[in-house]
Structure 1
Amino acid sequence: MGRLLTALSVLLVLHMASSYRLVCHMTNWAQYRPSSAKFTADDIDPFLCTHVIYALATINSFNQISPNEWNDEQQYIQLNHLKNVNPALKTLLSVGGSDNGLSPFIAMVANPEGRQAFIRSAISYLRTHNFDGLNLAWEYPGHNGSPQTDKERFTLLVTELSKAFEDDAKENRKTQLLLSANVASLRPTIDRAYEVNKIADPLDFLNVMTYDYHGHWEAATGHNSPLYRSSVDSGSHIHHNINSSISHWLALGAPAEKLLLGFATYGRTYRLTSGATGLGAPAKGPADAGPYTRTAGFWAYYEICDYTSSATAGWIPEQEVPYATYGSSWVGYDDMRSYSSKVEWMTGNNLGGAHVWTLDMDDFGGYFCAAGTYPLVNHLRMSMGFGPKPTTTPAPTTTRDPVADFCRGRPNGLYENVADKTTYFQCFQGNTYLHSCQPGLIYIDSCKCCDWP
């Protein structure tokens, strides 16, 4: 499926990587996907991400956190058991969704008593189920039946939660619970939903949802998560891109180190209506639903892998993202190359890290893309400068083997192995790690990637 990037494109020093967050979402509805696409907490690699967010719990009529699925509490146990394997892993519970089309936050934030009931419930529920924090998933204050006054009420909720978490930690001599929120990417929504300069301080980090910029609801093809605007964008669409969204958050006073850039593991699909196949081609509605996600309008990355094996793949240079077409189907998605471009942009803007939506739409089991388990998120992890996982061991040291000394004195990064082009070296803290390309590919140092000879 075209170029398979499996290497670092951005070389980051260790202290930068250690301050980064790689926050990964999992969804409790992915357990209902068929066959190899079924996903539960048992499928998570405990060393892949720094934080895992479990989506999604709700809020009941008593303003208390309530599970959504019959087996959520069993899933909590499985997820938090991963911290026995990786004690550095943090887990958060995401709360949100809708009830009859309305967010459960609307009724809860309407008065101080409702907010206090929710806060007490949150602390108790998170402590009982061994979570490290809470993630607010309200789409969005001041929208979809939420009155404009909810902009200020959201600020009150965030401020009161943060204070209560601080008090709980002091009173019970426990580590303070984390507080994060999934927040909008489109400028009009941001302006209507948030008092940015007031919510940024009490939140530990903000997951900016830098995806769903375009989709089958539009009459022409557009990319799900472009880095920059394109030449076909006009009107408000000139701001439907990562660069514009993050710039707006920063301009409104959000600290760069608290903003996490969203990385999608899915693409948005269209049904083409003419012979045109590029960006901005006429379209009407979505392509057929994927065989595993079974939802019109988007395909998981593992479904895209199968599609691109016979499709015509393309690259949008001005937006630094790929797309593919086959027949009348069109999909704009992310791959390892676009992830690398976004990490470079993210690093250049000193953001606090990345968040992934979602683990369960990457090829988590390695069944579909012939690129190992979690090919996208593993590539993201390496591109952000995180070191090898504990299961990876340095090359063996022998008096006759110069490989073990290869990285001595070299900067962290990737290097070619001149003795075997099907492998490459990763240098990290002076240690040498040997990696192999996928069968048939060789390492090319000019792009820091494995590609066809």
Structure 2
Amino acid sequence: NFSFTLLFCFTAVGVLLALHTVSSNRLVCHMTNWAQYRPSIAKFTPDNIDPFLCTHVIYTMATINSFNQISPVEWNDEQQYNRLNSLKNVNPALKTLLSVGGTVNGMSPFIAMVTKSESRAAFIKSAISFLHTHNFDGLNLAWEYPGHNGGSQEDKERFTLLVMELSKAFEADAKENRKTKLLLSANVAALRPTIDKAYEVSKISLYLDFINVMSYDYHGDWEAATGHNSPLYRSSVDSGSHIHHNINSSVSHWLAQGAPAEKLLLGFPTYGRTYRLRSIATGLGALANGPADAGPYTRTAGFWAYYEICDFISSATVSWISEQEVPYATFGSSWVGYDDKKSYSSKVQWMTANNLGGAHVWSMDMDDFDGSFCSAGAYPLINHLRMSMGFPPKPTTTPSPTTTRDAVVDFCRGRPDGLYENSADKTTYFQCFLGNTYLHRCQPGLIYWDSCKCCNWP
């Protein structure tokens, strides 16, 4: 009974700490309903989600039918909704949203729906009912993008109307039913020409609770030379419009157009973009011709999930692009630009310095979610992101071999929240949170490097 009481108290304290952190930081994680079709140990469903990992989970995705009503896509979506939302029984602080978007016959379903106030009203009514029925806390809009891909220039203003009408309807619903107001977010473009054509930034920012800047896919196999998927800054080989294909430029533009920093969430990819090299040159800007071979689990040419990259870099040459704060790796004619713990740390520092509202991750199912590939435990990237952002240690129901309370209780007194090296033992490191000291242990064979706030080889 004594042990159970301690466990219950620790869990309760963990939930309270999580609530404390959510007020100033969001860690929003996307999951995709097509990851369930990946083979073997790469298959991902809501059962693979750690309910204490992220503050919000976005289920991707639903669509809009010909009656302008929100509608599931997969045969088992409704069952999966229930599995996801049951996680809130474990972590009451967790919030879930349903993402709507995609394409129908190659066109965004938003295009037809937003044309008339009556069709927007039908969609909004169905969305509120659908979210309540399936116990979601909000709606995420994933229209890529207003005014593009078959849309018209009027879509820019129509998207603003949709966002405004959704927000007001959510407010009315909360008052009428005495419920917490449903959340409203959107996935938005990162490239300047697309932003300018698609969004009335200052207007939509008034009504969205948070804005997921898709700060990835800046470069890929559609180009004739290698470029990084998600660089923090421009590189010396960038020219023309490519000087803006980076996080610093994208977020600066959103801010300049009137988006509040506290509503912008920086995108962290758990995948990399691949190329097939055309010559012996292997650096940034090397000539390329299409993608490397598709990964054995994601099975889509042009990108690899992080767990596939872990396999690749075990025999590849890994390099660091210092001017962009991101890594790439090559083996034979295959080239991949990706993110690791070190690049995540750099982006968190930049995100914090610019006072952004937090991070969003695309996607949970492409991290090494059960620890089968990277020898770094479950969710190595997202767990590192979570700690780097200053979230508290997660409550646990079983003793953890890698996370224990240290006897050196005074180390963190007076120190800011964050990760610190333990000079007495390089295989461990300290996490400070609210003046409390926690000791974490690296995986066997690794030591802590303060330069990347991560465990790596000696």
Residue 321 (structure 2) pairs with residue 316 (structure 1):
yes
1:178-189 superposed matches below 5 A: 178-189=183-194
Query: Which of residues 336, 341, 360 is equivalent to 1:331?
Result: 336
Q: Residue 123 of structure 1: which of 108, 123, 128 is its match?
A: 128
Structure 2 counterpart of 1:32, one-letter code: Y
Bigger shift: residues 432-441 or 177-186: 432-441
**Match of 2:78?**
73
Structure 1 gap ranges (5+): 1-13
Looking at structure 2, the residues matched to 435 and 396 of structure 1 have their Cα atoms a distance apart, in angstroms, of 8
The answer as to 2:349 corresponding to 1:352 is: no
Residue 286 of structure 2 is matched in structure 1 by: 281
Structure 2 distance, partners of 1:423, 1:89, is 29
Cα distance in structure 2, aligned partners of 1:175 and 1:342: 32
Flag structure 2 segments of 5+ consecutive residues without an equivalent. Answer: 1-18
Cα offset for 1:235? 0.7
* One of 128, 136, 140 as aligned partner of 2:141: 136
Deviation at 1:197, TM superposition (A): 1.1
CA distance in 1, matches of 2:319, 2:55: 33
Contact 1:17 1:385 in 2 (8 A): no
Q: How does 1:35-46 map to 2 (within 5 A)?
A: 35-46=40-51
Report how far residue 423 of structure 1 moved: 1.7
Query: How has the CA–CA distance of structure 1 residues 110 and 445 changed in structure 2, closer, same or farther, with 3 Å as cutoff?
Result: closer
Q: Which amino acid aligns with 2:388?
A: S
1:426 is paired with a residue whose SS is: strand
In the alignment of these two chains, the number of paired residues is 436
Give yes or no for contact 2:212–2:266 (8 Å, CA) kept in 1. Answer: yes
Matched, 1:192 2:180: no
What amino acid sits opposite 1:85 in the alignment?
V
**Alpha carbons of 1:62 and 1:330: their partners in 2 closer, same or farther (altered >3 Å)?**
same
Residue 153 of structure 1 is matched in structure 2 by 158
Partner of 2:34: 29
**What's the Cα RMSD here?**
1.6
Q: Is the 8 A contact 2:405 2:438 kept in 1?
A: no
The aligned counterpart of 2:222 is 217
2:58 corresponds in structure 1 to 53
Helix, strand or coil: the match of 1:130?
A: coil
Structure 1 distance, partners of 2:151, 2:57, is 28
Q: How far apart, CA to CA, are the structure 2 residues paired with 1:69 and 1:239?
A: 37
Shift of 1:304: 0.2
SS at match of 2:408: helix
| Residues 396 and 242 of structure 1: CA distance in aligned 2, closer, same or farther (over 3 Å) | closer
Verify: 1:250 aligned to 2:255, yes or no: yes
Q: CA deviation at 1:403?
A: 2.6
> If the length of structure 2 is used for normalisation, what is the TM-score?
0.92
Of all paired residues, the percent bearing the same amino acid is 82
Cα deviation code 1:234-255 (max 9, x no counterpart):
1111110001101111111011
Superposed displacement of residue 438, structure 1:
1.2
Report the alpha carbon displacement of residue 178 of structure 1 after superposing the two structures with TM: 0.4
State the secondary structure of the residue aligned to 2:328: strand
Q: How does 1:167-186 map to 2 (within 5 A)?
A: 167-186=172-191
Structure 1 residue 443 and structure 2 residue 419: aligned? Answer: no
C-alpha distance in 1 between matches for 2:369 and 2:382: 9
Contact 2:156 2:200 in 1 (8 A): yes
Q: Secondary structure at the match of 1:81?
A: helix
Matches within 5 A, 1:103-122: 103-122=108-127
The residue correspondences of 1:382-421 to structure 2 (distance < 5 A) are 382-391=387-396, 402-421=407-426
| Corresponding residue SS for 2:254 | helix
Contact 1:264 1:334 in 2 (8 A): yes
- Name the structure 2 match of 1:10: none
Q: CA deviation at 1:216?
A: 0.2
How far the C-alpha of 1:365 sits from its partner, in A, is 0.6
Question: Does the CA-based 8 Å contact 1:395-1:403 persist in structure 2?
Answer: no
Letter in 1 for 2:172: D
Larger RCO, structure (CA 8 Å, separation 6 or more): 1
AA aligned to 1:42 is D
What secondary structure sits across from 1:88 in the alignment? coil
- Offset of 1:424 from its aligned partner? 2.0
Deviation of 1:410 (Å): 4.0
Deviating beyond 6 angstroms after TM superposition, the runs of 4 or more aligned structure 1 residues are: 14-17
| Deviation sequence 1:13-65 (CA, Å, 0-9, x none) | x9777410000000000000000100000100000000000000000000001
Contact (CA 8 Å) 1:18, 1:386: kept in 2 or not?
no
Which residue of the partner structure matches residue 239 of structure 1? Answer: 244
> Shift of the alpha carbon at 1:131?
0.2
How far apart in 1 are the matches of 2:179 and 2:355?
31
The answer to whether the 8 A contact 1:17-1:384 is kept is no
Change (3 A) 1:444 1:361: closer
CA–CA separation in structure 2 for the residues paired with 1:266 and 1:396: 33
1:310-348: CA deviation from partner (whole Å, max 9, x where unpaired)? 000011011110000000000000000000010111111
Q: Is the 8 A contact 2:22 2:55 kept in 1?
A: no
Distance change (3 Å), C-alpha of 1:185 and 1:418: closer
